[in-house]
Amino acid sequence: MIDMKWLKEREEHQEEVQKVADQKGISLSISELMELDEQRRTLLQEVEMLRQERNQLTQDISVLMREGNRELAEPIRLNVKNINEQLTVEEKQLREIEAAYTELLMLVPNIVSPDTPIGTSDQDNVEIRSVGTPKMFEFQLRDHVELGEMHKMIDIPRGVKTAGSRNYYLTGVGVLLHRAVQQLALDMLVSKGFTLFDVPLMVRTEALMNTAFFPLGKDQTFHIPDENKWLVGTSEVPLVSYYSGETVDVTEPLKLAAASLCFRSEIGSAGKDVRGLYRVHQFAKVEQVILCEANHELSERMLQEITANAEELLQKLELPYRVMAVCTGDMSQKTYKQYDIETWMPSRGTYGETHSSSNLLDFQARRSNIRYRDQEGNMQYCHTLNNTAVASPRILIPLLENHQQEDGSIAIPKALQPYLNGMDRIKP
């Protein structure tokens, strides 16, 4: 949530936020929001004055009745009746205006960093750096689906038979590989001071509203109507919600991590990435979340740190990748600054997104009401950040394809071998 005091302070701030909303593709009128805010505050003052007047008159009636002055009390009683009728009308108007105001307020985007590229889609993202060189194969490549079927690791037809499109089974060594990359990521994060969590996968609507995944992300989220709960698409939601409504100690940044199943409806992706494991309904992620003091320099440093953690994992997996600065049109409502990490996928002949890092400033903490006391004892909202340390089975695409051998075997990176009982190669 944007700081409304800051937004109302200057017209330039309103123009900036309107510009960002347009760039992020959010249908929103800041001038309408400001108008509703003015109407809301004016009507609220009127309602409060009427309530005060009614309360005072009610007390006057009580005094007169105790004194036996029923005749004097009667016209005052009629006045109270008229005020109540007026209040009924104005309170209804206030509720309607407040509802419209809140609806617009929940659409207001976070501002973006000065170094965020301007663009309309991921085609306008800007490469920051690339690490590793895509390997040139001197034999006929197999994609991850072929390799997975050859080694009895991946079974998509039975996944579709059981659960519908964009579903799959991992079997045998595929499961071991899937779990190995997650455990490698978790061990790495623990060594860097992260606290591990096992989190709820079903959350209440307010958890998704407070973390700014709703209202704009509802179409990507699976709903459980009877429970009025939702399946999370990332453990960022329950990790941030862990501290919602609380005052926390961020003398040192709070570093949280979780490995969890995640669910995504993939609405709007019909016909897109239909082959294989790139875009599926159920997957697993190891997520990093940081809460820190509201200091731009500090949260920028934390952004670089969590991005470096994801890069370190890819280097351990011996995979070529590149880091992209995400443009305005490819960013979510809540994001101030974002990097995507794309890993080389031979079967696609290009890089594919496997990781994402975001700095949200205090936008998410305002909505979740997570605060801390600064050195002067004043309450401040935290800055929050998040990063996907690894997501599987998507990471299996580059892992299998880049390490395949001519005979169909797959070399296991050294960092993963301890998690696979010393196995250095998956043989046909």
Distance of CA 247 to the CA centre of its chain: 21
Strand partners, 372: 380
Distance of CA 14 to the CA centre of its chain: 24
Judge contact between 218 and 212, C-beta under 8 A.
Answer: no
Task: Find the helix or strand (DSSP H, E) in which 12 lies.
Answer: helix 11-23
Judge contact between 391 and 323, C-beta under 8 A.
Answer: no
CA dihedral over 416, 421, 427, 428, signed as positive or negative: negative
Which positions are annotated as active-site residues?
Answer: 264, 279, 353, 356, 394
Q: CA 428, CA 426: separation in Å to the nearest integer?
A: 7
State the CB neighbour count (10 A cutoff) for residue 408. 15
Torsion of CA 65, 67, 69, 75, to 10 degrees: -40
Q: CA 139, CA 144: separation in Å to the nearest integer?
A: 15
- Rg (Cα) of the chain, in Å, rounded? 27
Q: CA 317, CA 363: separation in Å to the nearest integer?
A: 34
Q: Give the DSSP letter string of 298-332.
A: HHHHHHHHHHHHHHHHHHHTT--EEEEEPPGGGS-
- Is 17 in a helix, a strand, or coil? helix
Strand partners, 289: 256, 386
Q: Give the DSSP letter string of 177-203.
A: HHHHHHHHHHHHHHHTTPEEE---SEE
Distance of CA 224 to the CA centre of its chain: 20
- Is 104 in a helix, a strand, or coil? helix
